[in-house]
Structure 1
Amino acid sequence: MVCPGSGPVPAYINLFTGQGCWVGMAARRTLAASRGRVLFVDDLVTDPALRSGGVGSWLPAESARRAALAGCARVELDSGVVDQGAHRFHYARRMPVVAFHFSPDVSSGHRRAGEGEPRRRTSRH
């Protein structure tokens, strides 16, 4: 559920240099979820050439500041399971892993045999 005033489209936090060059972005939405009101970061992206320059630390900090102003309980984001660099980045900032994000493919032709069918219990004698 999207909270009133935030709309279904993510808002963006963009960071530019003094010369107007883009260096990083966080796409975010405020959601009312079973775990309370949260600011969900859909994407957190920095210019690879400018990494380790503070941009990656500023974007989550600014997201947290905006979450607090919006009355959110927390900031949440997903990270792909193979993105070890992102995991190191988030662990270094003491961001705990609190959930798994499951994503079954439901497009036609991608269902494996047995998927979507109820499991049958077998009795052992």
Structure 2
Amino acid sequence: AGVAGVIKMVLAMRHGTVPRTLHVDQPSTHVDWNTGHVRLATRTQPWPRTTTPRRAGISSFGISGTNAHLILEEAPPEPSPRGVPLGKDGALVPLVVSGRDEGALRASLERVADFVERHTDVPV
């Protein structure tokens, strides 16, 4: 059951969005919401990058009575190695080439390499 929460938070960090809390209409009266910096996410909202990494607490309560808690922290961003194109979200973008035979494939690869060398505005 906890794996779904981990996946959800990894995706939330990747997309920079705090997902809303499901199946909750109002905050619990057992929590002092005026103390500290904790709020219930009643709607989806942006999760902007700051000088500190994003962190999330994930709890899982198993039917057998097993309880687990995990604190997840985003990894530091890694710079793109030269020549590896990145998409808008920083994901790797494949450069697909094809050719009818080995010579045509090599020609296609040379055209792509030439394009990347000439266009400095391509994010690589």
TM-score, with structure 2 as normaliser = 0.21
Bigger relative contact order, structure 1 or 2 (CA pairs below 8 A, ≥6 apart): 2
Higher strand share: 1
| Structure whose alpha-carbon radius of gyration is higher | 2
Give the TM-score of the pair, scaled to structure 1.
0.21
